Amino acid sequence: MSILKSTATELLAELNAGRATSVEITQAYLDRIDETNGKIGAFLSVAKEQALAAAQAIDKKRASGEAVGILGGLPVAIKDVLCTKGWTTTCASRMLENFVPPYDSTVVAKLRAADAVLIGKTNMDEFAMGGSTENSAFQATHNPWDVARTPGGSSGGSAACVAASMVPLSIGSDTGGSIRQPAAFCGVTGLKPTYGRVSRYGLVAFASSLDQVGPLGRTAEDVALLLGAIVGHDVMDSTSADVVMSKYTDTVQQPIEGLRIGIAREHFGDGLNSDIEAATRDALKVFESRGATIKDVTLPHSKYAIATYYIIAPCEASSNLARHDGVHYGYRTNEKAMLAELAEENKLLEASGDKNGLANLDSGLVRMYRKTRSEGFGAEVKRRIMLGAYALSAGYYDAYYVKALKVRRLIRQDYDAAFNEVDVIAGPTVPQPAFKLGEMIDDPLAMYLQDLYTVSANLAGIAGISIPCGIAGGGLPIGLQLQAPPFKEERLLRAARMFQKETDWHTKRPRL
């Protein structure tokens, strides 16, 4: 058995059969990280000693006949937006560069309880704001299929480390496509659960009504395994849904008889790459060969999704990030230098007799706030904070934020109507293959349009998955997106598995 070429499901079978140990598997992935992370930049931190100690403890537990958790010694990478007790959680921001949480997020606690080996924290766009993982304050992440290109974002590190065989499973977060878009760009499988399906307690918030934590892996089976470890109601999260959940690993291999697939014409408009459109339509033929029926549906308000998202998300970000001020926690400007600067300005104004200048001079506290946030946040985070603050300001709140909430309701109603006719909606995950690093960093609107097909699921609170379905002309992966009604992750996983049983796109790996 080749550890690095195996899926998480295959590795777990080897562990349970006693043909491999968690220490052997963990060491193989740590060696791979050492070999490739310098080129890819997927990890911000790697906990080698802790990972090996955890693997050894799990091996001892299994050898003594004790029951082990459902992840049974598999290494898992964590997006650096989830709190980890005693382990730096940076959100890829200078603002939290030295922040060490005093507690585990619920997802991390569940992973530990499931006997996962937490191997490292992955790079991301700062505070999960971006679609290329170039907005990280520390490093850019490169796409393993072409290191000159982006792995997507904001969970670019989480997707890239799976694609590059640095880890079999990883955790990301998805606010407007941040699991599904990187999964498509990197040729892996990534699922955004229904809002409320996975606890957000200990997830550093970007947009609280949109954020959701989810799994990435090689296959639908791998994703089903990891999802089963992290779902469930959590009293620590007031938005956590108390709903019955399936044991996804028991059902993922069951085909869906009479599957009804909806095709929204809004997902096949201008700007869609021809290779992606062809691969998507070929994927639909695979489903048809398994007995699925294809039906046209319409999502008429989806044309407003980008505009709606980029009002609601920045408004919530502006509110959530107000706490990062240099007082509560996180980065704080150099006060000694700041006070010296303030004193010098005051001296110059007094000498010039500028009374208006003296009256308008910042207080030390105001200047500390301003300099802390100016120095601690990157350009994209500042942009979204300003957009949100503007939309929430007096005179604009009703015209922007309230109106966006009304459109959001219409988008959800479009999905409700479509799901009365079909079981899932299929389409491209993104409008183009992975773009070059630096290509869109100075064009925010072009970057935002990469979320064209993904933001609607977050606005509607439904479930979505991206699975590999082809290779574009430039040798880059193509992702197929499937969307399902709320809390129908089981349906998505079964449909994804149906497709992967008939194709081998999910087995393709980049040559580094």
Residues designated catalytic: 79, 154, 178
The secondary element (H helix, E strand) that includes residue 45 is strand 43-46
Kindly give the residue spans of alpha helices, DSSP state H, lying in 290-334. 305-320
Q: What is the rounded CA–CA span in Å between residue 334 and residue 511?
A: 45
Residue 101, classed as helix, strand or coil, is coil
Q: What is the rounded CA–CA span in Å between residue 48 and residue 52?
A: 6
Helices and strands counted in the chain (H then E): 18, 11
Tell me the pairing of strands 477-484 and 463-471.
antiparallel
DSSP per residue, 348-384: HHHHHT-HHHHHHPPPHHHHHHHHHHHHHS-HHHHHH
Helix-strand-coil split of the chain, %, nearest 5: 45, 15, 40
Residues in contact with 254: Cβ distance below 8 Å, sequence separation at least 6, in sequence order: 494
Q: Which residue(s) pair with 77 in the sheet?
A: 120, 170
Residues in contact with 145: Cβ distance below 8 Å, sequence separation at least 6, in sequence order: 163, 186, 187, 434, 475, 476, 477, 510
Burial classification of residue 66, based on how many CB atoms lie within 10 Å of its CB (0-12 exposed, 13-18 middle, 19 or more buried): exposed
CA neighbor of 489 nearest in space, from 470, 464, 511, 472: 464
Q: Which residues in 228-312 belong to E strands, given as ranges? A: 260-264, 293-297
Residue with tokens 């939290």: 96
In one-letter notation, the amino acid at residue 123 is N
Residues in contact with 119: Cβ distance below 8 Å, sequence separation at least 6, in sequence order: 26, 29, 30, 33, 46, 47, 51, 75, 76, 77, 167
DSSP per residue, 381-441: HHHHHHHHHHHHSTTTTIIIIIHHHHHHHHHHHHHHHHHTT-SEEEEESSSSSPPBTTSST
The answer to whether 225 and 130 have CB atoms below 8 angstroms apart is: no
Q: What is the rounded CA–CA span in Å between residue 100 and residue 28?
A: 28
